[in-house]
Structure 1
Amino acid sequence: MIRRNRIKIKLLIIAVFFGITVFYNEYLAYEIKTIEWPIKHCTDCVKILLVADPQLIGEINENYLGASFARWDSDRYTAKTFSRALNLAQPDVIVFLGDLMDEGHIATNKDFLKYKQRFDNIFYTPEHIMKIYIPGDNDIGGEEDLVSSQIHERFKIAFTQHDTLTFKHLIFFKVNKLTRYMPNAPKDAFLNDYAERNTTNVVLSHIPLLFTPDTFVKNVIKELSPQVIFTAHNHKAMHLSLDTTIDQLSDIRALSPHNPQLYRLRLDMGDIHELQIPSCSYRMGTRFMGYGLAYIDTQDKSVEFTILWLPERFTKLCGYVIWVGIVFIMCIRSYSCCCSTPTRVPYNYLSSI
């Protein structure tokens, strides 16, 4: 009886600590991380939330034992982090910088609709917020295979919108380096007199541009005259600056996840700034995930940006595995103790004298 009570107490202690672990992993860790986010409040700026490479897990390549749990946990993690970023940042515009799905380029029409529904559920957004969608190589092909015109058309139908969009004094240009496409700039988009105007040209591309200044990139810079470029694909957070007077990169900087801060850049100094946004999915083989957040002030001619770094997930999943191992060992020991019989000590009666 005493032994059984000790086992029950041990199991109760394990259950309590496991409950604390679940509470921290599934709620508190997210809340603690948001405290570190350098959110600011402004009335004259345009707030842009940038979502890069969510790559929702598909069902074709991910068909191993436990794949359903992996999809569920990854979707749940992304939904929880996005909802927090949305609520705290209160953006005017949300830009999805491509690779929305991991298997969009190889999915059947039926599977694509399922992935699209999952995407809409995870990234649920109020109607009053402007949303912009950029296709990535995992959505339409183009990295290890050719871009399929049929698949590309399917993506454009699913995420129907123009390639040139305006919000207040911002003009967004959707550029596709995979297909070598860029929209025609409206006449009022040229910014030779930008210092005297309040317009900002923003180029959106899944593939980074300034690292590989080929003919296509030079045409984008010449025709669209951007001050800011937002890109993704590499799953890293970086800032690049192109000095247009000498046509060379003047700054290349990786953004540290250990020192979250607001970075301020001028937009009237003749430089073009490219901001690469990391993946928001923990399944992309990178330890540090995040969302981008930019504040563009056309009056002040400046942009402030930061990365909303997200909590790690793999370490927490490993912690769950350790807990399961502990419980399994405790159950085995408890079963062994219950099944074992007490050892009887043989003795003989003494004969009476």
Structure 2
Amino acid sequence: MRPNLKFLFRTSCGILFLFFYCEFLIFYTTQFNCDWPHLNPANEDASIDPTGEAPVKIMVIADTHLLGSKNGHWFDKLRREWQMYRAFQTAMALHKPELVFVLGDLMDEGLWCSRSEFEYYVKRFYKLFTVPKETKMYVAAGNHDIGFHYRVSPYLNHRFVQAFDAPAVRLVSVRGNHFVLVNSVALQGDGCFLCREAEQQLSKIEKILQCSKGTYYSDKCKAHKKLEKYSRPILMQHYPLYRQSDMECNDFDAAPYPVKQERFRESWECLSQEATLQLLNQVKPRLSLSGHTHHGCTRPLPMGEGLEVTIPSFSWRNKDNPNYMLAVFTPNNYAYMKCELPRESTVISLYLFGVALFLIWLLYNFMCRKKHKFLSVLATFSIFFK
């Protein structure tokens, strides 16, 4: 191979490998380090009899914020969607969860986009977040999907519910594990069209849980279908439960200062105190999962035993270190783990390091060619003067 072609071949291979690693391979090398958590027998709920069945494996993401036509630059849109697609499909290939939950804000401009753009949103979402046939996906609505409470309309709510099969309240039961998905926007308690529906469905689920547990009058339980096995549910929604700020959150993916100190507004950054008490009293969860803040948080439930875990945004546009949750559930136990994704800053650093090496490589070859020419001229002169 001629020297120039050899140099061009080596340079091209180096550039292609850098691009391949930063845009594909890094997702595997990073996510391969995360695996399903192990159940700790010491955490078992003694009041619930074990079933002996295999644990239910779930994956949870939040706040994908697919960009729209108003606030999204085409390159930013292309970049973020590729990152989320690659991260999600890598997770599907490595972990193979049974259930996938998406906790709201699927879209960035769903609350004001036209019908045609909304349909384009839906197609993009299902293309990016494709799941295998054996995996089921469930979606909860967020404020960017249908609007905050003051803005949401029957039309905006209906088209989201139809497109993503996401009613105001939903009960999903798998092998004695019960997941209650709630539309946070519907918990205003003012009797609006959405709130009435959510309150009715919550009351129905409350009675189903009470009948299954045996804490409700048996004659009144005839109207409600009992669960095959009672266990404390897992509550899932977009908004976190009421808290004053993120100051009590000390996770590795928690909000940075001074964002951490900003006070939350009820029904904006978190649920109201009234809605929080209502949910905890009616559902009595062992674990509450949420999104919305774009940062991670783990804290005890305000009432009863259990934890609340806030999942950070899955989009690199909102966070340098996004992640997702893997969790396993049995009726009397659970365990979870947050799986880190490649940091945006790490990818940028790798590109900068690769560019620096490339420039050094060019300079080295340029100096070598200069040296070779100089030696050739010197040899010619030496022959001439002999």
- Whether TM-score is above 0.5 comes out as yes
Give, as a single letter, the amino acid of the residue that structure 1 aligns with 2:117. D
Give me the identity figure in percent.
Answer: 24
Are the counterparts in 1 of residues 141 and 238 from structure 2 also a CA contact under 8 Å?
A: yes
Q: Secondary structure at the match of 1:171?
A: strand
Pairing 1:305–2:302 present: no
Q: Secondary structure at the match of 1:304?
A: strand
C-alpha displacement of 1:224: 1.7
Match of 1:48 in 2: 58
Which one of 77, 81, 92 corresponds to residue 83 of structure 2? 77
Which one of 171, 174, 181 corresponds to residue 165 of structure 1? 171
Residues 311 and 109 of structure 1: CA distance in aligned 2, closer, same or farther (over 3 Å): same
Which one of 153, 156, 159 corresponds to residue 151 of structure 1? 156
Structure (1/2) with the larger helix percentage? 2
Are the counterparts in 2 of residues 53 and 232 from structure 1 also a CA contact under 8 Å?
A: yes
Matches within 5 A, 1:1-353: 11-40=8-37, 44-63=54-73, 67=74, 69-142=75-148, 146-162=151-167, 163-168=169-174, 169-180=176-187, 181=195, 182=198, 183-184=201-202, 185-186=204-205, 187-190=207-210, 198-211=230-243, 214-242=273-301, 244=303, 270-284=304-318, 286-298=319-331, 301-313=332-344, 315-317=346-348, 320=351
Give, as a single letter, the amino acid of the residue that structure 2 aligns with 1:313. E
Structure (1/2) with the larger strand percentage? 1
Residues 93 and 314 of structure 1: CA distance in aligned 2, closer, same or farther (over 3 Å): same
Q: Secondary structure at the match of 1:167?
A: strand
Residues of 2 paired with 1:47 and 1:313: CA distance? Answer: 28
Q: Which segments of 5 or more consecutive residues in structure 1 lack a partner in the other structure?
A: 245-269, 338-353
Are the counterparts in 1 of residues 111 and 145 from structure 2 also a CA contact under 8 Å?
A: yes
Q: Secondary structure at the match of 2:317?
A: helix
Residues 243 and 322 of structure 1: CA distance in aligned 2, closer, same or farther (over 3 Å): closer
Q: Secondary structure at the match of 1:27?
A: helix
Give, as a single letter, the amino acid of the residue that structure 2 aligns with 1:104. G
1:293-322 deviation digits (Å, cap 9, x = unpaired): 111111xx2210011110123553575578
Residues of 2 paired with 1:129 and 1:319: CA distance? Answer: 34
TM-score in terms of structure 2 length? 0.68
Match of 1:260 in 2: none
C-alpha displacement of 1:72: 2.2
Residues of 2 paired with 1:308 and 1:227: CA distance? Answer: 21
Residues 314 and 70 of structure 1: CA distance in aligned 2, closer, same or farther (over 3 Å): farther
Residues of 1 paired with 2:317 and 2:129: CA distance? Answer: 17
Give, as a single letter, the amino acid of the residue that structure 1 aligns with 2:329. I
Give, as a single letter, the amino acid of the residue that structure 1 aligns with 2:311. I
Residues 92 and 230 of structure 1: CA distance in aligned 2, closer, same or farther (over 3 Å): same
Are the counterparts in 1 of residues 142 and 184 from structure 2 also a CA contact under 8 Å?
A: no
Report the RMSD for the aligned CA atoms in angstroms: 3.3
Q: Which segments of 5 or more consecutive residues in structure 2 lack a partner in the other structure?
A: 40-52, 188-194, 216-228, 244-270, 370-386
Q: Secondary structure at the match of 1:282?
A: coil
Q: Secondary structure at the match of 2:308?
A: strand
Where do 4+ consecutive residues of structure 1 move more than 6 Å? 321-327
Higher relative contact order (CA 8 A, sep 6+): 2
Residues 238 and 192 of structure 1: CA distance in aligned 2, closer, same or farther (over 3 Å): farther
